[in-house]
Amino acid sequence: MGDFVRVAGVGDIPDPGARVVEVDDEVIALFHVEGAYYAIDDVCTHDGGPLASGELVGHKVACPRHGARFDIRTGAALSMPAVRATRAHDVRIEGGEVWVRLRTGPMVEGPPSAMPTARPVAAAPQPLPITAATGGGGAEKTPSGTAPASPLPSPAAVDAGPLCEDRVREMLRLVKDPELFVNIVDLGLIYGVTLTPSTDSPGRHHVAIDMTMTSPACPAGPQMIGDAKRAVGSHPEVAAVEVRIVMDPPWTPDRRTDDARDQLGIF
Ligand code: FES
């Protein structure tokens, strides 16, 4: 653990208010609320959003990028899409000045307190090589063989009726985000499903799925893409499945269904 570093004078930051400060070459969000000071990493654990510039309500700050909320006293993640705490640091007031000492680990660990606690740990993160990350959604270029396969419920879990868009969405409900344990349809990750008659395989269809991620670097992306292909590809009327990654418009928490909100227990 390092030494305390002077970061501001008492009274330099309005109450309530926040400022970005630097401590030992790290960027820290310093908050002043109800006469006390708090320091956390100025980094949202979802995708790096700057927390000092987020909306501050009481002791909670909302990431300006996708709305995840954090407790500025402990760094705890309080709402999606963040599921990990950011680091909180030691603060002391001395000689009319505010001093901060960095901690090496988070003050709290794990998911938001309202999240289910008995959850298996997700597979080792892999970067998602998105090559068509803006509107229009080019074809997904991830080699399907690189994504770790996860156990899907049997396709028989979905009523084996004629192929249609609703049937595809039902099959996609078999695929869960491995960090949140909610299916990708209820999370609001599926932007569109298009069925086109196959020219190579009469009577069957090419299925194109427009899918987004909660962040461009979502480590679970390759796994969810592979699972979506396997789930939909199991239908006898499907000739091929294409997953197109679309990041515009960006995903926001309000895309979740009520079912997803109920499962997560957070809003
Ligand atoms: S970067 Fe903070 S919620 Fe997405």
Query: Are 256 and 154 in a shared domain?
Result: yes
Q: Does the beta carbon of 66 lie inside 6 Å of ligand 1? A: yes
Query: Are 81 and 157 in a shared domain?
Result: no
Distance 252 CA to ligand 1 centre (A): 9
Query: Are 171 and 249 in a shared domain?
Result: yes
Asked if the structure places residue 252 within a domain, the reply is yes
Q: Domain span at residue 172?
A: 144-264
Q: Look up residue 267 and give its DSSP letter.
A: -
Smallest Cα–Cα separation from 235: which of 176, 121, 166, 156? 156
Distance 209 CA to ligand 1 centre (A): 24
Residue whose CA is at the smallest distance from ligand 1 atom 3: 66
Stated pTM of the model: 0.60
Query: Are 10 and 63 in a shared domain?
Result: yes
Number of separate domains in the chain: 2
Once rounded to an integer, what is the mean pLDDT over residues 225-248?
94
Nearest atom in ligand 1 to the alpha carbon of residue 49 is 1
Asked if the structure places residue 26 within a domain, the reply is yes
Strands 36-41 and 88-94, by their bridges, are antiparallel
Which is higher by pLDDT, 224 or 264?
Answer: 224
Residue type, 209: I
Query: Are 54 and 160 in a shared domain?
Result: no
Asked if the structure places residue 93 within a domain, the reply is yes
Smallest Cα–Cα separation from 212: which of 178, 180, 242, 252? 252
Asked if the structure places residue 114 within a domain, the reply is no
Query: Are 216 and 154 in a shared domain?
Result: yes
| CATH code (residue 179) | 3.30.300.130
Residue tagged 């803006």 (tokens): 134
Burial 236-262 (b: 16+ CB within 10 A, else e): ebbbbbebbbbbeeebebebbeeebbe
Q: What is the pLDDT of residues 47-75, one digit of tens each?
A: 889 999 999 999 999 998 888 899 999 99
Query: Are 163 and 252 in a shared domain?
Result: yes
Q: What is the pLDDT of residues 69-84, one digit of tens each?
A: 999 999 999 988 888 8
Tell me: pLDDT of 233 over 70. Answer: yes
Asked if the structure places residue 125 within a domain, the reply is no
Angle (deg, nearest 10), helices 221-233 and 165-172: 130
- Between the CA of residue 142 and those of 133, 146, 187, 224, what are the distances in Å? 12, 8, 21, 11
Asked if the structure places residue 168 within a domain, the reply is yes
Asked if the structure places residue 117 within a domain, the reply is no
Nearest atom in ligand 1 to the alpha carbon of residue 48 is 1
Among 101, 120, 152, which residue terminates a domain? 101
Asked if the structure places residue 248 within a domain, the reply is yes
Spatial distance between the Cα atoms of 153 and 54, rounded to a whole number of angstroms: 40
Residue whose CA is at the smallest distance from ligand 1 atom 4: 66
- The two structure tokens encoding residue 2: 């390092």
Query: Are 97 and 151 in a shared domain?
Result: no
| CATH code (residue 67) | 2.102.10.10
Which is higher by pLDDT, 213 or 152?
Answer: 213
